[in-house]
Chains A and B, each alone.
Chain A
């Protein structure tokens, strides 16, 4: 048993729902009690979908348990097939139905249905949402994909599938647009995008492509691995998030398709490199950033942070253990401690410990950052209604990198503003507590009722007798957004060097010690 307050991932059948909902012409009959129907609202409310997910629930009750829940399941299948006439049907059980062992696969097979049936075995007590999505998509591809003879490459353009985009995905809708744009610039035609927007008929001809582009390995890679083996379709696994990764992705696709990468590389809409090199960004140098999310988004974020914004990655983690190895490798590369956990309290403790200047995380870390009074940007699922903006807001491709620059930098105090704050700090009209003018939307000044971590308590009230009055005054002259760190560093330095009293000398010795 595991004590859990908030979860990063839902159960695996929610992953299957995400795949079913992403597709057209698909229906999913889920053997589940009534409470499980809550999952519909994830799609209709968070993603604002204008149609119900194509899911029929059997909603068995306690009184059905002694009788025939299997018959109830078959009735639900019959009704769903008759009413929705799907091109293909997914069947499976949620956690409760798994325990009553009705065997949806066998039951639906015995029914002689007029459409292909994809039985799903998703062990609810072992696995989670992403795994459920990947397994469901793989089963769909495996059941429906038909072997095809590809035309010779001389007679046509290169052909690719885009695998992984899904319902309830973090910016998947917009990422697909950007990746399609890249492929179009390279003269590569898109055969099938799946599961998002694909019909069972599309899956059937998935083998026509020369190769696959896997955008979200959490969802698409299991199917891609099978297609590699069964259909001899190579997969490109570079996730084009960030300028460098996008360039790598373009070169890999160009090489695979045997085309010139230049048309896609020379995208004059790529503003991020100059935004990062322009002098106003100088102050970003060495900002300590803590990154947590799904492995794909966290790892790509670490590269952007380190190589493209000049941040220092002070923490890197993911909640999906399936990708722990990749994440550990990335953490090693950026010199950060890897954190692989789905316990948000452990993440909170790690963030507090790392004392970053910016948190890049999920909605969960956004709340953590808010409590700790840290700026934060969201980079990954689990999703929130805010993660489905009305505007085009990709993460992938050059435009995605532009979006990321804005999203990550805006929560920070802007370069010039940082200097002005320091300049005006002593003016009587100016209050430290006011913070920067543009920040309220992202990280409002710490509300009075939120408990402040002990090491952040302001000097007047705290038990900091080791500080001389003069040093305290000097500390107050340091801009408020770095003052907490200066205090911590100085105190750490003082205790490390056995200085009983923190005076001006200690303060400036510590400053020199921690200078970067």
Chain B
């Protein structure tokens, strides 16, 4: 990973560290993926810890029966008293009998299932044959030894790519937007693409996991999320072309992202400007209020979701914040080249994590705002450092013109709150 050749737009050297990491594993993505794909079920094959993580990350147990569950591996499975594959067949049977509306079942690998080398690919194939054509059964790994937080979505979408039908070779070029977005954001983008005159726009994932978009050499895809390295590679392997762009955060990021599509589909420049102008202006107006509070303030990101670099770019270029350290669990230089080029030169980029040293740097830097995980936020607040929970940036609608103001507000609110409180 670190051996990738650095593109010419390379910025300051990257601090690479290894040590304790304080991040979620890829299983966490299930929390938003199951909401997005309403006909899909996620069955984690793992331990009680996996079940406990999902429950804790989901925050509250609000759903009668969510579309995710854990097949908890027990002593008898490990001791060879029961065959893990037979047990899994039994659990899947139990589950599908209970939830007949499920059309796609993801078997999700975990740390324990990876370590005992349980072959979920084989299981998915076997079970897929047994339950075809009612249920499609796929597998991916969300294990923490292989995936960090949002990489779980990457692995899930990568597993969907081979299932996508092949586009006709003589088909007109089609646009594919890749990355789970809240429905409302997806609809806003769909309206903009339609106004631009880009007719065939598909989403991955779509709201129904059973309805997959076609893919082929005529496919042009835009990444809506900055953590989809493997999915992008799988799409490219099927002949699709990635449209390089800034990620759609803020007025400028969203404009650049839409522009990449407009260019690829030969949209007239005047027409493009006409279509995006209202949204872009609204976004700028919405941001202005937060800008007063955020301008000149210093911000550090602890590694979490890989959203850190595009968000730091948005905060630096559109809100006048000064990024101090921008940590990311994994840096995809090719996809991030445009983003990195816009970050102030003195920004410290770090990849990977050595938690204790990083916290030492935060204490030395004393940024005005630190973006970090839930485990660290209150302790840092107690040390007098204002924080923003990173997970809210993943769970809230933040993409596109209409959400730019909300995104800015997410960063401004902790600071405003500090100013308001007199206790």
Query: Which residues in A have some Cβ–Cβ distance to B below 8 Å?
Result: 1-7, 9-11, 13-14, 33-45, 48-52, 56-62, 65, 76, 79, 83, 94-96, 99-100, 123-126, 128, 345, 363-364, 367, 371, 384
CB-defined contacts of A58 to chain B, threshold 8 Å = 20
Cross-chain pairs A/B with CB under 8 angstroms, 5 sampled: A3-B69, A45-B374, A51-B382, A124-B48, A125-B74
Which of A3, A10, A36, A41 gathers most chain B CB within 10 Å? A41
Interchain CA distance A58-B20 in the complex, whole Å: 6
Residue from B68, B71, B88, B145 whose CB has the most chain A CB atoms within 10 Å: B145
Q: Which of A58, A60, A96 has the most CB of B within 10 A?
A: A96
Are A11 and B69 in contact, with the CB atoms below 8 A?
no
- Which chain A residues lie closer than 8 Å to B65 at the CB level? 5, 345
What residue of chain B has the Cβ atom nearest to residue A450's Cβ?
B64
Docked CA distance A373–B77 (Å) = 39
Cβ of B310 to closest chain A Cβ, rounded Å? 22
Q: Which of B125-172 contact A (CB under 8 A)?
A: 143-146, 148
User: Which residues of chain A are near B87, meaning CB under 8 Å?
Assistant: 1
Determine whether the beta carbon of B20 is less than 8 Å from that of A59. Answer: yes
Chain B proximity of A61: nearest CB distance (Å): 5
Question: Is B55 a contact of A44 with CB atoms below 8 Å?
Answer: no
Q: With contacts A1-B82, A83-B356 known, is A96 near B145, CB below 8 A?
A: yes
Q: In the complex, what residues of A have CB within 8 A of residue B26's CB?
A: 35
Contact A50 B74 (CB under 8 A): no
Q: Choose one: A4, A38, A48; the contact of B70 (CB below 8 Å).
A: A4
- Chain A residues positioned under 8 Å from B116 (CB to CB): 99
Whether the Cβ atoms of B379 and A52 lie closer than 8 Å is: yes
Interface: B4 (CB within 8 A)? no
Tell me which of B90-98, B237-245, B311-319 binds A: B90-98
CB atoms of B88 and A1 under 8 A apart: yes
- The answer to whether B356 touches A38, judged by C-beta atoms less than 8 angstroms apart, is no
B420 within 8 A of A: no
- Say whether B114 faces chain A, with CB atoms less than 8 Å apart: yes
Q: Is the CB of B61 within 8 A of A364?
A: yes
The verdict on A35 contacting B356 (CB below 8 Å), with A14-B52, A60-B145 known, is no
Q: Say yes or no: A95 contacts B378, CB within 8 Å.
A: no
Is B178 positioned at the interface, with any CB of A under 8 Å from its CB? no
Chain B residue with Cβ nearest A3: B91
Instruction: Write out the residue numbers on chain A whose beta carbons fall within 8 Å of the beta carbon of B114.
Output: 62
Q: Which of B66, B90, B112, B377 contacts A44 (CB 8 A)?
A: B377
Whether A50 contacts B378 in the complex (CB less than 8 A), given A5-B66, A7-B48, A14-B52, comes out as yes
Chain A: CB-nearest residue to B89? A1
A33 to B111, CA, bound (A): 8
Residue among B48, B115, B145 with the highest chain A CB neighbour number at 10 A: B48
A2–B376 touching, CB < 8 Å: no
Within the assembled complex, what's the spacing in Å between the Cα atoms of A125 and B77? Answer: 9
Q: Which residues of chain B come closer than 8 Å to A96, judged between CB atoms?
A: 47, 49, 111-112, 115, 144-145
Most interface-central of A14, A37, A76, A99 (chain B CB within 10 A)? A37
The answer to whether the Cβ of B260 comes within 8 Å of any Cβ in the partner chain is no
| CB pair A1 B56 closer than 8 Å | no
Residue numbers in A under 8 Å from B73 (CB-CB): 1, 125
Q: Is the CB–CB distance between A59 and B21 below 8 Å? A: yes
* CB contact between B379 and one of A2, A5, A51 (< 8 Å): that residue: A51
Could you say which of A3, A7, A35, A56 contacts B144, with CB atoms under 8 Å apart? A35
A48 and chain B: residue at smallest CB distance:
B378
Contact between B22 and A37, CB atoms less than 8 A apart: yes
Tell me the complex Cα distance, A9–B72, Å: 13
CB-CB under 8 A for A44 and B356, given A61-B145, A126-B74: no
Which residues does chain B contribute within 8 Å of A76, judged by CB atoms?
20
Measured in the bound complex, the distance between the Cα atoms of B381 and A49 in whole Å is 11
Q: How far is the CA of A1 from the CA of B76 in the complex (A)?
A: 8
Q: In the complex the two chains form, what is the Cα distance from A94 to B56 in whole Å?
A: 17
Task: Give A49 to B77 CA distance when docked, in angstroms.
Answer: 37
B327 to chain A, nearest CB (A): 14
State how many angstroms separate the Cβ of A129 from the closest Cβ of chain B: 8
Kindly state whether residue B24 has any CB partner on chain A within 8 Å. Answer: yes
Interface residues of B in 307-331 (CB under 8 A from A): none
A36 to B49, CA, bound (A): 7
Is B51 interfacial (CB-CB < 8 Å)? yes
Question: A45 to B90, alpha carbons, bound, how many Å?
Answer: 37
- Cβ contacts under 8 Å, B55 to chain A: 6-7
Known pairs A2-B74, A35-B25; A99 contacts B112 (CB<8 A): yes
